[in-house]
Structure 1
């Protein structure tokens, strides 16, 4: 007998109800999970052997590619069994931990291969911070985070360097500079050279903190400057482009989620009119919207900053219309529930979903190619908000320099320098700035003729 007894399939049905899958998918998922239970009944425990037996049986009925597209349901079902206490651990999760693999699908693919042990061994990843410098780098990351820094990108650089050192045990006795030089020589790209320069600064400063007798060295800034020059320029949407996106969002085809077109419309409106990041859109709560004062509260996002943003009357009207439609669609009214809610999982949209959906709107509006990463990005709406706001100030006779500090606060930036990155000099902006100089500055250059 298996670890749980479910002759009436009540456990499976409870899981399907909790997951709130689309009605058309439920019969397939139920059959899939029932076959899993049937195999589990013939084994004393839900373990590696049981998974192997189930996969062999399923491969007789399904092609491997189709099977691998469905195993995520079993993985979630196993997590559900752990959650309700019917099994002690998810065996797939245990294999992920053992081989240090983030995703479940490679584990399933390895288990379904002709030689599972070899395939699993090939998946093994080095343990995080397991090199000779691992403890030193991990302590530095923890220190910086304890001081309030998010330190995400820097941690990724250190982890990549750590994996390199684990693969090169011959460098264990070498000085830090030699290790970094070997890491820099591993890839001949400019991006890698710039990353190595940043990594070297981090590690030498961390070493100086432990041993002040070894001063941090100055490094060549040229690689970082070369990479910065190669960064693509943000796409600045014109008001007409934004209107086209909004119109496209209104007609977005979504028969299974009727609220989605209005959700996309409101997302794009806030991304452009309020300059919100995709994560800020995703993590907005219903209670963060104050329709009485026409403000939204953005809580502890980048740089751990919280800000209250006033909205224009037209944006507030559209936001009220969305909230009313959300309520009629059955959205939860708990102030902590996600503002941008979907009925499929009765949850908020994640940042990745926000990016995918708005990108699809851009493609449908003809502003981005049908495939690939080229063309405008979602974050370019934020850039466009800054540039078009400055254009409006110029055209209204307002000196933008007097307003930049307010704009920086509105955008949630740490300082004015972060805001300057968003000021892309377009032809229209250059024309308006030149016209302002001609009207106000040029007379100062005219000198009276001497007698």
Structure 2
């Protein structure tokens, strides 16, 4: 059998040294995973480049003995390794690049589809479609641009319209129907109060955009009780007791993280900031070192809701 050029422990060492891992155990652990991958390729007769079918076999075999999060993490390593080999001209093709070209930039949903029982159908659901490529796509795209010119971020609305556009691209046979009929077809794809509300809101946005161009086009109503039913489906607010807060903070400090010793402290600090300073989750995640003024004991919260910045005093409990 002709071996692939990368079935070589020395090449694995070159790759790992190029990554600059800080923890000494990481190098050893990753070397074992890559050697296992190389042995799998040899056993399955790969002679030129790993292809999608062999990659799929490797994923399916290891999905039976690894938990999902472990499988995803180790697939990221394999993807970096294969990309490195391709960039250095050691293999002719990169199967991950082909998968991303067809099914989008995120690795995790692609892996999830490849190891599923009906992988072909699940991969088709991941297939990339052109942005606003449906027969109503131009109207939606122009509407988003119009609203942003007027100062709206329109991010949530954009994602909603993109989902509606994806539905229309997957069902070109509906092109002759009215907008109201299209909205009803989309709402029936996932029968739930919230999805009905989302579909009606998308239909109202599109109808407003069309009405702005042609005032004879009616603006679609959302409907009585639709919003209320959607809100009732959502989780209600929960007020934590002092004892529950203490237990949550204690659990954060005990979070098992043997290879990242600062992670429990980071989680604890994030929870304390959210609780004591009233920060939203995204605001905590976006905090930078420069936003903390230890001398003035303040926090600078930038580009938050409604495009605003605000400065908060650091609560005594967070110092």
- TM-score, normalised by the number of residues in structure 2: 0.75
1:144 match:
147
Alpha-carbon distance between aligned partners in 1 of 2:90 and 2:28, rounded to the nearest angstrom: 23
Deviation of 1:295 (Å): 0.5
> Which residue among 151, 161, 166 is the counterpart of 1:163?
166
1:178 match:
181
- Change in Cα spacing, 1:89 to 1:205, as seen in structure 2 (3 Å) is farther
1:297 aligns with 2:300: yes
1:65 aligns with 2:64: yes
2:96 match:
92
Secondary structure at the counterpart of residue 240 of structure 2: coil
- Change in Cα spacing, 1:5 to 1:140, as seen in structure 2 (3 Å) is farther
- Change in Cα spacing, 1:177 to 1:253, as seen in structure 2 (3 Å) is closer
Checking the alignment, whether the CA contact within 8 Å between 2:104 and 2:128 is kept in structure 1 is yes
Deviation of 1:17 (Å): 2.8
- Change in Cα spacing, 1:248 to 1:119, as seen in structure 2 (3 Å) is closer
- Change in Cα spacing, 1:59 to 1:220, as seen in structure 2 (3 Å) is closer
Deviation of 1:292 (Å): 0.4
Which runs of 5 or more structure 2 residues have no equivalent in the other structure? Answer: none
Task: Provide Cα deviations, 1:164-184, integer angstroms capped at 9, x if missing partner.
Answer: 323333321222222223333
Deviation of 1:102 (Å): 3.8
- TM-score, normalised by the number of residues in structure 1: 0.56
Deviation of 1:149 (Å): 3.2
Task: Provide Cα deviations, 1:243-265, integer angstroms capped at 9, x if missing partner.
Answer: 34334444445444333333233
Structural mapping, 1:193-232, within 5 Å? 193-232=196-235
> Which residue among 275, 280, 283 is the counterpart of 1:277?
280
Alpha-carbon distance between aligned partners in 2 of 1:242 and 1:214, rounded to the nearest angstrom: 53
> Which residue among 243, 251, 255 is the counterpart of 2:246?
243
2:267 match:
264
Deviation of 1:199 (Å): 1.3
Alpha-carbon distance between aligned partners in 2 of 1:54 and 1:188, rounded to the nearest angstrom: 36
Alpha-carbon distance between aligned partners in 2 of 1:187 and 1:63, rounded to the nearest angstrom: 33
2:107 match:
103
Higher relative contact order (CA 8 A, sep 6+): 1
Secondary structure at the counterpart of residue 8 of structure 1: helix
Checking the alignment, whether the CA contact within 8 Å between 2:113 and 2:122 is kept in structure 1 is no
Deviation of 1:291 (Å): 0.5
1:8 match:
10
2:137 match:
134
Alpha-carbon distance between aligned partners in 1 of 2:8 and 2:220, rounded to the nearest angstrom: 66
Task: Provide Cα deviations, 1:82-129, integer angstroms capped at 9, x if missing partner.
Answer: 77787797431322222447435635864x89999x578645536143
Runs (4+) of structure 1 exceeding 6 A deviation are 1-7, 82-89, 112-116
Checking the alignment, whether the CA contact within 8 Å between 1:93 and 1:104 is kept in structure 2 is no
Alpha-carbon distance between aligned partners in 2 of 1:160 and 1:96, rounded to the nearest angstrom: 20
1:125 match:
127
Alpha-carbon distance between aligned partners in 2 of 1:313 and 1:130, rounded to the nearest angstrom: 53
Deviation of 1:74 (Å): 0.7
Checking the alignment, whether the CA contact within 8 Å between 1:36 and 1:54 is kept in structure 2 is no
Q: Kindly tell me the number of residue pairs found equivalent between the two proteins.
A: 307
Give the superposed CA RMSD: 4.0
- Change in Cα spacing, 1:168 to 1:294, as seen in structure 2 (3 Å) is same
- Change in Cα spacing, 1:294 to 1:216, as seen in structure 2 (3 Å) is same
Alpha-carbon distance between aligned partners in 1 of 2:315 and 2:255, rounded to the nearest angstrom: 25
